[in-house]
Structure 1
Amino acid sequence: MDWTRVKFDWNHARAFLVTAEEGSLSAAARALGMTQPTLGRQVAALEDELGIALFDRVGRGLELTESGDSLLAHVRAMAEAAGSLSLTATGKSQSIEGTIRITASEIYAAYLLPPILPLIRQKAPDLTVEIVAKNDISDLQRREADIALRNAPPEGDTLIARKIAEDYGYLFSTEDYAEKLGDLRDEGNLQRANFIGMEHNDRLIGGLNEMGLGVTAQNFPYQTSDHLVHWEMAKQGLGVGIVPVWLGDSTRDMARVDCGLEPIAYPVWLVAHKELQTSRKIRLVFDLLASEVPRLLG
């Protein structure tokens, strides 16, 4: 079917789009500020207009049918066009200026984001970028920032999130300390190894043990809640630290510790308020981060 030739009510199409993005009628109804029965009737009306089924019920949620998936891209394009029209009409699209706040973990804020800032400056010379270095994932909910770069998806219906990459962490120490330790698969080497702990260190110990590295609290004579301090302590030879592979491998005089473990994979999420749909400056920076972060992570 050529979806571009199909005519239907935009309200029904919007109901379908939000339901597809939220994954359930109840979540979509909350996002649109309407009752679930009303939303359900609008989706059903669109199915009647098109003569196709758009969703299959799976448990308490919904999954797109093949026809619904084909339609989704066209409806998204319609929504983007409507958003652009609205921005132009209100004058919000005329300039990109003011301040935008990006929050990220301390490691990302210090090492990953700075190379991207000149590109933002080039695209939007009147925009001031403020970096909020925090490990707390709730700062967007408190409106402390406009965009967040995080390693966990957000909770709640007021945010838009996109998984943009996978990152990998590993155990690093100075080259001298790594050579002195030897292979940590040797029980004697492991017992005398010093690790640098983090906040909630019991979780770190449990995670390493699940991966097969039998560490105990005795292996952690040092501990910090600050990730930059953690990395600096490792760089000064106090013990073994955990940082992203791209950072550890690119740091002079630092080396991966021989322990037989695979790199630890974790997702990278880009998160913004739903204002992303109506703010040119947020959209510009969001799209730049979505492009540049995966590139820098390699």
Structure 2
Amino acid sequence: MPMATGTDWDKLRIFHAVADAGSLTHAGEALHLSQSAVSRQIRGLEDSLGVTLFHRHARGLILTEQGELLFEATVSMRRRLEAAEARIRDSAEGIFGELRVTTTTGFGTLWLVPRLSRLYEEYPNLKIDLLLEERVLDLPMREADVAIRMKEPSQADLVRRRLMDVNMQFFATRTYAEKMGLPTTEEELTSHRLITLAAATRQVSEGLNWIVPFLSAEHSSRLTVNNYFGILRAVENNLGIGSLPNYVSLDAPHLVRVLPEEQSKVIPVYLAYPEELRQSRRVAAFRDFIIREITDFKKRYQMEDSATAD
């Protein structure tokens, strides 16, 4: 496929809109152009490239193989243009605008969200788009700007920083402990309702390796939830003993450790963002905020841990 020249930029913009909408009419509405004008631009692009970009049918337009290749290129171009625009706006106008942050549902709901008010106090014009899911979003492809991940990122073109280490542990409420008593051995744990992620739920390997033997034991009753926020709410409502990341304990003094000698191996927490956003002031503001919060959290956790040990 020949490379599009500089005169084709407008055609590429229109092609991207049509491919995204799957319709000449809808693309025209989004671009404020008539359907015939959009159609002429697409035909002109197809003629200049010497390929067919769309299959036409009664329900709309479907990309051909060549069209899919061009659409991948325009998606990448658009994301890079958005990144460049963000960097220009950052340097010229200060810290404001949209920042897409991705992390797991558990870390996002249980640790990050309760602390975001301090970030907004410092930067009230920042717009955070928080994407909470277990799927690892592609940062170089700009599915997100910044990620907090429960393992070291594997891509080479990312700036990364190890923030802290997490362990999975057992917790119950003080109310549950007073009413039901707490197990002192793994065998006694089987007489309590265990609340965990299901083994098939997407999760980090260290947490899964740790909990599987407990799930294999014969419990009279069990509850599985597909995220840690649900597990925490179940524990808080005294449904049983839950498997949770240890970072919940500092913000939940009503919880107590169960079988303190039992915990998973270390799960590292990393902050990562694309190399091309290294100079972004918005990314730097979020990074510095997270580092401050993590530093404070570690100090408080260590003090709490020392007090408990005493």
With the shorter chain as reference, the TM-score category is 0.5 to 0.7
Q: Assess if the C-alpha contact under 8 Å between 1:112 and 1:293 holds in 2.
A: no
In structure 2, list runs of 5 or more residues that go unmatched.
1-83, 302-310
| Structure 1 segment 1-298 matched on structure 2, within 5 A | 92-95=90-93, 96-140=95-139, 143-179=142-178, 180-185=180-185, 187=187, 189-200=188-199, 206-208=209-211, 216-219=216-219, 221-258=222-259, 260-261=261-262, 264-297=265-298, 298=301
3-state SS in 1 of match to 2:277: helix
Question: Matched residues in 1 for 2:266 and 2:131: separation?
Answer: 24
Q: Give the match for residue 22 of structure 1.
A: none
CA distance in structure 2 between the partners assigned to 1:141 and 1:238 by the alignment: 42
Contact map agreement 2:196 2:224 (CA 8 A) in 1:
yes
- Aligned-residue sequence identity (percent) comes to 22
Letter in 1 for 2:155: G
Q: Report if aligned partners of 2:168, 2:263 keep a CA contact under 8 Å in 1.
A: no
User: Cα gap change, 1:176/1:154 in structure 2, threshold over 3 Å: closer, same or farther?
Assistant: same
Distance between the aligned counterparts of 1:174 and 1:273, measured in 2?
41
Instruction: Report the equivalent of 2:66.
Output: none
Q: Secondary structure at the match of 1:128?
A: strand
**Between Structure 1 and Structure 2, how many residues are aligned?**
208
Q: Which secondary structure state, in structure 2, belongs to the residue aligned with residue 268 of structure 1?
A: strand
Q: For residues 201 and 218 of structure 1, what CA distance do their matches in structure 2 show?
A: 18
Q: Letter of the aligned partner of 2:127 in structure 1?
A: T
- The letter of the residue matching 1:93 is S
Shift of 1:176: 3.7
Mapped partners of 1:229, 1:142: distance in 2: 31
Give distance in 1, aligned partners of 2:116 and 2:295.
15
CA distance in 2, matches of 1:209, 1:114: 29
Deviations 1:237-278 (A, max 9, x none): 222112233423542532211353257532111011112223
* Mapped partners of 1:279, 1:181: distance in 2: 52
Q: Which has the larger radius of gyration?
A: 2
Q: Distance in 2 between matches of 1:91 and 1:175?
A: 51
Q: Deviations over 1:199-223 (max 9, x none)?
A: 425976742477xxx6525336211
CA 1:222–1:158 in structure 2 vs 1: closer, same or farther (change >3 Å)?
Answer: same
Give, in angstroms, the shift of residue 124 of structure 1.
2.8
Give how far 1:119 is off.
Answer: 3.4
Match of 1:218, SS state, is coil
Deviation at 1:111, TM superposition (A): 3.0
Taking a change above 3 Å as real, the CA distance of residues 274 and 233 of structure 1, as seen in their structure-2 partners, is: same
Tell me by how many angstroms 1:196 deviates.
Answer: 1.3
Deviations 1:91-143 (A, max 9, x none): 75122221001112223222322354233334433221222222222353553
Distance 1:206 1:125, change over 3 A: closer
Q: Given the superposition, is the C-alpha separation of residues 215 and 118 from structure 1 closer, same or farther in structure 2, using an over 3 Å criterion?
A: closer
Once residues 259 and 90 of structure 2 are traced to their aligned partners in structure 1, the CA distance between those partners, rounded to angstroms, is 54
TM-score normalized by structure 1?
Answer: 0.59
TM-score scaled by structure 2? 0.57
